[in-house]
Structure formats: structure tokens, C-alpha cells
Amino acid sequence: MLLSLLRIHLRPHRRSVALLVLLQLVQVLATLALPTLGAAIIDKGVVRSDSGYITRTGLTMLAVALLQIATSVGAVSLSARTAMALGRDLRSAVFRRVLDFSAREVGQLGTPSLMTRTVNDVQQVQMLALSAFGVAVAAPLMCLGSIALALQQDVGLSLVLVALVVVLGLAFGLILGRTDRFYARMQKYLDRTNGLLRERITGVRVVRAFVRDDHEGERFSRVNSELHGISLHVGRLLAAIIPVVLFALNAFMVAVLWFGAHRVASGEVPFGALSAFLSYLSLVLMAVVMVTFVCLALPRARVSAERIQQVLTTEPSVAAPPDPVRVAPTAGALELCGAEFRYPGAKDPVLSGIDLRTGPGETVAILGSTGSGKTTLLNLVLRHFDVTAGSVNVGGVDVRALDGEVLRRTVGFVPQRPYLFSGTVAGNLRFGVPDATDEELWRVLEIAQARDFVQRLPGGLNAPITQGGTNVSGGQRQRLSIARTLLRKPDIYLFDDCFSALDYATDAALRAALEPELSRATVLTVAQRVSTVQHARRIVVLDAGRMVATGTHDELLRTSATYQEIARSQLTTSNGHHGGSGPDAGTTTTPQEAVHGLGGPR
């Protein structure tokens, strides 16, 4: 998995990789040549007192050393640039794939896990690449070259180097083979830690309101302790590598000196050859140390690569059409024909048998109890999910065949929980229309009843907005979100109970200002209060994912038991107070009277 990931994402950098291999090859050859030249100076220059040979060979060694330094600097610089580019490309690939996911894939993988995979897992692969680029060619060539050149000096002593490589290879295999499963668990604990931290920060007000600081601290401490335990276990395994390497190297160094001294004393091996042997043993040591750093990063990078590949190979359940329709023939038309949506493996559908047709100039209200499928219906229009049966048509075209950009331009959506991005008021409003003028911004703010509070903010349109819009109230976020959608002027507006945080006066003023603005658009609005939808041209009542009634407010009060039940649940008793006492206690109004009493005409 790791090799496959690297092969795919290093393909655009193959020229840099080829140049890196060439630089390392020259560097290794220069490094290997120095001990042989040093041995020649001893045996042919120092022993024979040939100063001319010493000078010539010394100058050659100086040139080789300069070449080694130059290629080494170039290789290090190029490897760092290539590794950073690899990390950049991987993060970009994961980010783009996540943007293609529907809510189903995001829910399956989890937001904290996706964040960890995008940042931490990519960093592990990037660090492995940085380490590997430095040893991918250098370490094997240096190790094999040292053994080959040592064989030219003396075959008997060369067997010591071969034995050293075999022993270290077996030791690495035994130690590193046990770390994969622990690294997999470590990354999962990182996901959980990330999730708890994110939950604790975003829910800090709720935690403090219910005085659950100690409880949340204990939850985090438990997961943190588990992560600490796994990390400690892996650290102990990896910590054994360095002592094993040092012990083996020192043991074989003693063996080389012991046997080499006897062979030099007997005249079988020249003194320069023993010196070269010690240099080659040092080069093997250098190669082993480089490989050690890669081996330390390899198990975790392998696990991280599998997690990254899982994201990259997950196919979105909402796939782009192969031959998308780029022009909607009927502007503003919206039609759901027998639409059904069922989660994978679920026994019952969330929505079933939804038939709804509407067009420009019509406002259709969707009303139902909590969990009746109102928001899911809007998500089907937006194609956050695909229907499991039936069809959803926008502009006369099935949304599954419509180009994604065309769908986003055609349909404007205001969620119940609006999200504002860090930046300024103007930056958030221009999110969909980057070239909008200040006059256009003030106009939509006026319609959304947000002009007054924006003018009071320090800086006005340039007033800062924190991530999520936490420095403004919920009602202000809703109004800014409505203004942001109005600026785009889509053909179809979807309002998902986005007036819930507004007081009645602001709600009434906003709806009055929206009426002429949306007179030629198709409007689908979700609400839970009967009083907010009673003047809609058509009201659709959902119950348990099915359309149980449709009509005007007055018609539904006469004909729909579900609508009457919703109305009764919102009526007031005893002069407008639940559970009142006194002479009027127990007196109730009719559903129609009660509904009108809740909000009055708008």
C-alpha cells in the first residue's frame, strides 16, 4: 500500500527523483573511493616513502571529497523539496476527495479521523519519504559497495562484513515486524483524541453550563492515557534497535581488529588493507544508521498510507454524471416523483413516496414533527444524498444528470444552523459572489434585516467574523446566511427552518421584505411552527417520512388530522398560559383560533 501510494504520487516528480538518484550514486561512488585511495597512500606512498605519489593521490582524494560534498548538498536539498512536494500533493488529494464525499462518507469515516488523516497521516508518509530519499540509493550501494571493495582487499575479513549485514537484517525484521499493529492502534487513538478535543472546544459552553469540566477531563485523560500506553510500548520496541545496532557493530569491529591484526602480523594482509577495512566497516555503520532512521518511520508510515489510501479509494455515493447536462431547460422548476431515501442497511426508509411539483412564483412550506424527514427532503434536492427510488428534477432535469455547478447556481440553501467562515462580514457575503459591490451587499443586508446591526459593528462590512460566527448571535448568523444566499439570486430557494432564532417582529419584517424579492423564484421552506407557514400558498405535511396531506392552512385545519395535531401542540390554554388556573382554566380555543393567535397575520 505504501509503495503504491508513493509510486502514484511521485510520478509527477519523476525527474527530480531521477536527478536525486544520480546525485546519490555519484556521492556513494566518491565515498567508496576514498578508503581505497587512503589505503594506496599508506601501502604505496608512506611505506615506500614516495612523496610524489602521496601528493598526487592526496590531490585526487581532495577532488573526490569536494565532489562528494557537492553531490551530498544537492541530494539533501532535492530530497527535502521532493518530500515537501509529496506531502503537499497528498494533502491536496485527500482534501479534494473529502470535498467530493457526501454526508454518508463523512459520517462513515468521521470528521476527526479525516482531519487526522489529512494532517498527521500525510506527515508520517512525508517524513518517511524524506528519510528514504536520503538512503534509497545511498545505503544499499554503500553497504554492497563496501563489501565488494573489501573483498578486493581480503576475502577472509570481508566475511565479517557479510555476517554483520545478515545479523542486523534479522534483528530489524524481528523488532519491526511487531510494531505494525501497535501503530494502527496508535492512529485510531489519535482519531479519538482529536475527536474529544474538537468536541470539548466546540461544546465548551454546554460543558460549563452543566458543570461537567471534571467529567470531560476524565474522558480525555482516559483516551490520552491509552494513547500514551501504546506510544510507550512502541517506543520500547524501537528503542531496542539502537542498542542492537551498536552492540553488533562494536562486536564486529573487535572481530575485524582481532583477526586483522593477526593477518597483518603474519604478512597475509597489508596494513593499508586493514585501514581500508576499518573505513569500510564505518561506511557500513553509516549505511545501517541511515536505514535505522527509515525503519523507525516505516511501520507508522505504512499504517498511515493505508488510512490515506482508504480515503482516496472511497468512492462517493453521490457520483458526478459521466455526461452532465449543463443547461436546465425549465428555470425554477422543481419536481419530486416518488422520491424515496433509505440509509444502507436500514429497515425503513427516511422518506417514501414523495410527489411534489412546484415552480417560479410559488412558495411551498414543508411542515412536520421532528424526525419526519423535512431536512432530508431538502438534502435530496441539493443532492447531498441520492434518492434510492424515484427521482428529483431541478429545471426539468434529474439532479443525478445535472452538472454539479449548475445545480449549485440554481439552488440556494439556507440551513437551520448557518455557518460563517473566519474573515469579515463582506468576505462571508461574497462567498458565492466574489465580485459583488458594497452597494449590493448593503441591499441584501437590508432585505435580511441585518443592515442595522452590521452598521453598528466596528468596521461595518469589514468587521471581523470568527470561525463559525461565534462572535455574533444566532439570529444574526441566520440573517447573514440569508443575505449571503440572496446575493446569489438563485432560481430556487431552500429555507431549512432558518428563521427559528428570530423574534416575531424581526421574523415578520424579514418575511415582508423577502416577499417581493422572491416573487419570481421557487421557494421551499421548512418550518416547525404552524404560525410561520400559515400564509404559504401550499403546505405539505410530512409524517414518518410520508406526505400525509397538502393544501392551504385553512384546508388542512379542516381535513388533516396530523396538521390539527401539530396545531394543537402549539396552542395555548387558559388565556395563553399552559397549566393556568382561575375561572378560565381548562378553556381551549379551536385549532384554527389557536394557530392565528400564535403569530397573527404576517
Where does residue 552 rank: exposed (0-12), middle (13-18), buried (19+ CB within 10 A)?
middle
Count other Cβ atoms within 10 Å, centred on residue 220. Answer: 16
Joined together, the cell numbers standing for residue 338 give 416518488
pLDDT along the chain (602 residues), means of 10: 83 87 85 77 73 82 89 88 91 89 81 86 88 76 75 70 76 72 76 79 74 79 84 77 77 76 71 71 75 75 87 84 83 89 81 89 86 86 87 89 87 87 90 88 91 89 86 87 90 87 84 87 85 81 87 86 82 41 38 41 36
Query: Within its chain, how far is the Cα of 315 from the centroid?
Result: 15
Helix, strand, coil percentages (3-state) for the chain, rounded to 5, are 65, 10, 25
Joined together, the cell numbers standing for residue 321 give 454524471
Contact 325, 401 (CB under 8 A): yes
| Residue 263: per-residue pLDDT | 72
- Tally of CA atoms within 13 A in the half-sphere of 233 that contains its CB: 14
Count other Cβ atoms within 10 Å, centred on residue 216. Answer: 18
Count other Cβ atoms within 10 Å, centred on residue 247. Answer: 12
Q: Which long-range contacts (CB under 8 A, 24 or more apart) does 348-354 make?
A: 348/545, 349/388, 349/545, 350/376, 350/545, 351/376, 351/377, 351/380, 351/545, 351/546, 352/545, 352/546, 353/390, 353/546, 353/547, 354/390, 354/546, 354/547
CA 524 to CA 365: how far, in whole Å? Answer: 6
| Residue 180: per-residue pLDDT | 65
Q: Which amino acid is at 419?
A: Y
Which of 176, 179, 16, 184 minimizes the C-alpha distance to 89? 16
| Residue 576: per-residue pLDDT | 43
Going by C-beta distance under 8 Å and a sequence separation of 6 or more, which residues neighbour residue 93?
Answer: 9, 312
Residue with cell 397538502: 550
| Residue 47: per-residue pLDDT | 67
Which of 416, 385, 415, 422 minimizes the C-alpha distance to 400? 385
